[in-house]
Amino acid sequence: MKISRSSSFYFLVFIVSSVFTLSFVSEYVLGQRPPARYHTALQSSGVQLVTANETMAEPNRVSIRINGGVRVIKANGVPGHQVGQFPNRGNPHSIEAQNYKFEVPAEPQFSGGKIGVGLRNFGIAVNGVPFDPSAAEWFKGWRGSEWRYEALSGAVRLGVDENYAHVQPTGAYHYHGLPWGLLNRLNVSKSLHSPLIGWAADGFPMYALYGYANGKNAAGGIKQMKSSYRVKSGNRPGGLTAPEGSYDGTFIPDYKFVGGSGQLDECNGAQVTTPEFPNGTYAYFLTENWPVIPRCFNGAPDDSFALRGPGRPGGGGRPGRPPGGRPGFGPPPGGRFGPPPERR
């Protein structure tokens, strides 16, 4: 029996539609997760930042202690620096104090496994605010598709403030990029090695922007640490399940890892010496270019960083894929996500 070309096309459409219908039923009708919002934006002109000139009445509370080989971080998630106005046009939620308890190994082990961030926070800042690089926004709302919007591309309005942060439905304030309010309070400077800014979920330290030029000590000077991700050239595949348009950083798969183009590996980390670790350590760096916040781990992330439900910390999340973990899946946009513009 001959099957016409048009019949084959409609059969393909039926199969694709059935897959997404089953996904919708299993994830939303059965109550596992709320449906993702529907978006069709293909290109972006950049993120619009909300001025961070609001002072919170609630004080910052955080404690970081080592107990039996485990580093325990307890915090209320209030940043201790000025924030944007929330709610705002892109974010309808108000900041509320949280009751965080995160645990990481005090002596983490490097595995080189490149475990994707998935449904978890990447880490926790020294002020007790989580680093959560991903946004729950997909092309045409197809949750689980590789065509996930980059949070800092600006293609989807998220109401991000000048700390590249906004608020989850739970009231949790969290960073999607360089937390300038915190970095300024820590006196981050291009003439000095970055101070410790946080701990990743696998226990390795986090720094921002600047490290030793020779990787060992200040004698060799200071350099800005650069990501090895770049925006792909050419156009996206288009078709039934993928967006069209040129690669520009709107979607996470718009990026690819180019080994040797920067100082950092696929997880935005490196083996380095730092003021806190004079004998050397593996460490992650926040960078000015994508991915800004790392998107994978080279150690074993603790379950306390997993997200339950819509933006709720804690519990056991599903492991994600590392950047580049499947064809076309790469890190965030190649644009700069540096300091917000000066206020006049």
Query: Which residues are paired to 39 by β-bridges?
Result: 139
Residue 279 lies in a domain: yes
185 with 133, same domain?
A: yes
CA-based Rg of the chain, rounded to a whole angstrom? 20
202 with 304, same domain?
A: yes
200 with 232, same domain?
A: yes
Amino acid of residue 30: L
Between CA 332 and CA 229 the distance in angstroms is: 8
Residue 342 lies in a domain: no
| Lookup: tokens for 111 | 């595995």
48 with 21, same domain?
A: no
Residue 68 lies in a domain: yes
Is the Cβ–Cβ distance between 264 and 226 less than 8 Å? yes
Write down the pTM of the prediction: 0.83
23 with 133, same domain?
A: no
| Lookup: tokens for 17 | 């539609």
64 with 22, same domain?
A: no
57 with 175, same domain?
A: yes
25 with 60, same domain?
A: no
100 with 233, same domain?
A: yes
21 with 60, same domain?
A: no
Query: Which residues are paired to 125 by β-bridges?
Result: 198
Residue 174 lies in a domain: yes
Residue 144 lies in a domain: yes
Per-residue pLDDT of the chain in tens (344 residues, 90 and over written 9): 454 555 554 444 344 344 444 444 444 443 455 678 999 899 887 889 999 999 999 999 999 999 999 999 999 999 999 999 999 999 999 999 999 999 999 999 999 999 999 889 999 999 999 999 999 999 999 988 999 999 999 999 999 999 999 999 999 999 999 999 999 999 999 999 999 999 999 999 999 999 999 988 888 999 999 999 999 999 999 998 899 999 999 999 999 999 999 999 999 999 999 999 999 999 999 999 999 999 999 999 999 999 865 444 443 333 333 443 322 222 333 455 566 555 43
Cα–Cα separations (whole angstroms), residue 310 to 31, 63, 77, 202: 12, 26, 17, 22
Total number of domains in the chain:
2
Residue 288 lies in a domain: yes
16 with 64, same domain?
A: no
Between CA 107 and CA 318 the distance in angstroms is: 24
SS (H, E, C) the chain: CCCCHHHHHHHHHHHHHHHHHHHHHHHHHCCCCCCCCEECCCCCCCCCCECCCECCCCCCCEEEEEECCEEEEEECCCCCCCECCCCECCECCCCCCCCEEEEEECCCCCCCCCEECCCECCEEECCCCEECCCCCCEECCCCCCCCEECCCCCCCCCCCECCCEEECCCCCEEECCCCHHHHHHCCCCCCCCCCCCEEECCCCEEEECEEECCCCCHHHCEEECCCCEEECCCECCCCCCCCCCECCCCEHHHEEECCCCCCCCCCCEEEECCCCCCCCEEEEEECCECCCCCCEECCCCCHHHEEECCCEECCCCCCECCCCCCCCCCCCCCCECCCCCCCC
Domain hosting 12: range is 1-32
Residue 329 lies in a domain: no
Is the Cβ–Cβ distance between 153 and 333 less than 8 Å? yes
71 with 204, same domain?
A: yes
Residue 323 lies in a domain: no
Work out the angle at residue 198's Cα, subtended by the Cα atoms of residues 119 and 106, and round it to the nearest 5 degrees.
90
pLDDT of residue 256: 98
Q: Which residue has the tokens 């070309």?
A: 5
